[in-house]
Amino acid sequence: MIAAAIAIASCGSAQEPAQTPADGLISRLSALVDDGKIMYGHQDDLMYGHSWKLADDATEYVQSDVYAVCGKYPAVYGMDLGGIELDWPANLDKNIFDQMRASAVAHHERGGIVTFSWHPRNPLTGGDAWDVTSDQVVASILPGGEKHEYFMGWLENAADFLESIKTADGETVPVIWRPWHEHTGSWFWWGQKLCTTEQYKALWQMTYDYMVGERALDNLVWAYSPGAGELTSVEVFGERYPGDEIIDMVGFDCYCGTDYERYSNSMKNALDITKAFAEEHGKLMAITETGHEGLKNPKWWTEVLYPVMKDYPVSYVLTWRNACDDNMQHHFYAPFPGQESAEDFKAFAGLEDIVML
Ligand code: BMA
């Protein structure tokens, strides 16, 4: 357990305002970074794995490919809200929202940290998050746009869900909330070529004003994460940054192909830029998404990933999901028993500065 290492900072004195769940999480994250620790995270870890899927009626969240390999859970558990906007019972990757909520609580109660991204569908065309056929989508949902009222209903659904993640005692679970990610690329409808800098920033402001201003959600740690491929400078990193009043954590998404040297270079570049920006703005930093699809290098964890990140003050590194669908058996980013990088992952998870649960 990491409970001792990431114990929640004690509450303020009687005169000070009570600490919000988000403040408590920021304190935990900062303490870990100060201690030189990096948490390992895995997307959808408790929902399914390479060859299993949680039963629809399951109420316990104990199965995990990562646990099966090393006997420990990831410290950070990522999930995605895609589909919540349309009242779907399950998200875009078939995870039942009620089970996502319950597993987030279970993970929190084990001492872990939860993060949510969001791949909402396209509110203008009706397509998915990757539908970039129109560059008017962000414009259409901002105040005054034809889809504004409609989209506010989507934000309401997302806020309802994030607010509803509570323990049996009624304690709201803090989460790292990471909407509008990889916006430096142009593959999502909120991407670089699909809206102007002002529109992108206005989208964040509208999201924040609604969730924090209007709904008073106090459990969100707000994360900003461009795609690493486009990060040529600290200025590019900050170009569409929504502002210090909104953002608590900065990071980036960076994937590894079969050219490991190329990956190391782009990670180093993104880490240097993110670190400089984080220090300048006094923010936490993380590797919000990474991974090597199919883990074809048996030493990927200790010889590729770890060396490049170990000397940076990153609070966590999250690898993407282990898809279980028959046609997506190649799409995995954490090992499972027997996978060729499993032994190496065990060694990685056992390193002194890597935090697991
Ligand atoms: C992508 C892929 C997709 C998935 C999406 C949202 O990177 O894994 O299969 O639907 O993330 O989780």
250-292 pLDDT per residue, tens:
999 999 999 999 999 999 999 999 999 999 999 999 999 999 9
pLDDT band, very low/low/confident/very high, at 103 (cuts 50, 70, 90): very high
- Regarding the beta carbon of 93 and ligand 1, being less than 6 Å apart is answered yes
- Regarding the beta carbon of 321 and ligand 1, being less than 6 Å apart is answered yes
Mean pLDDT over 112-128 rounds to 99
Mean pLDDT over 3-31 rounds to 72
Mean pLDDT over 201-224 rounds to 98
Give the strand pairing for 38-43 and 314-319: parallel
Ranges assigned E (strand) in 148-219:
175-178
Q: Which of 106, 118, 25 is nearest to 73 (CA)?
A: 106
Ranges assigned E (strand) in the chain:
38-43, 48-49, 52-53, 76-80, 113-117, 175-178, 220-224, 249-256, 284-292, 314-319, 354-355
Mutate to test the pocket of ligand 1, among 47, 81, 92 (most ligand atoms within 8 A of CB): 92
- Regarding the beta carbon of 65 and ligand 1, being less than 6 Å apart is answered no
Q: What's the confidence (pLDDT) of residue 8? A: 41
Superfamily of domain 22-355: Glycosidases (3.20.20.80)
Mean pLDDT over 82-98 rounds to 98
pLDDT band, very low/low/confident/very high, at 9 (cuts 50, 70, 90): very low
Mutate to test the pocket of ligand 1, among 119, 330, 333 (most ligand atoms within 8 A of CB): 119
pTM for this structure?
0.95
User: What distance in Å separates the CA atoms of residue 74 and residue 65, rounded to the nearest whole number?
Assistant: 10
- Regarding the beta carbon of 92 and ligand 1, being less than 6 Å apart is answered yes
Mutate to test the pocket of ligand 1, among 128, 187, 321 (most ligand atoms within 8 A of CB): 321
Strand partners, 103: none
User: What distance in Å separates the CA atoms of residue 120 and residue 311, rounded to the nearest whole number?
Assistant: 35
pLDDT band, very low/low/confident/very high, at 14 (cuts 50, 70, 90): low
Q: Which of 189, 191, 165, 193 is nearest to 177 (CA)?
A: 165
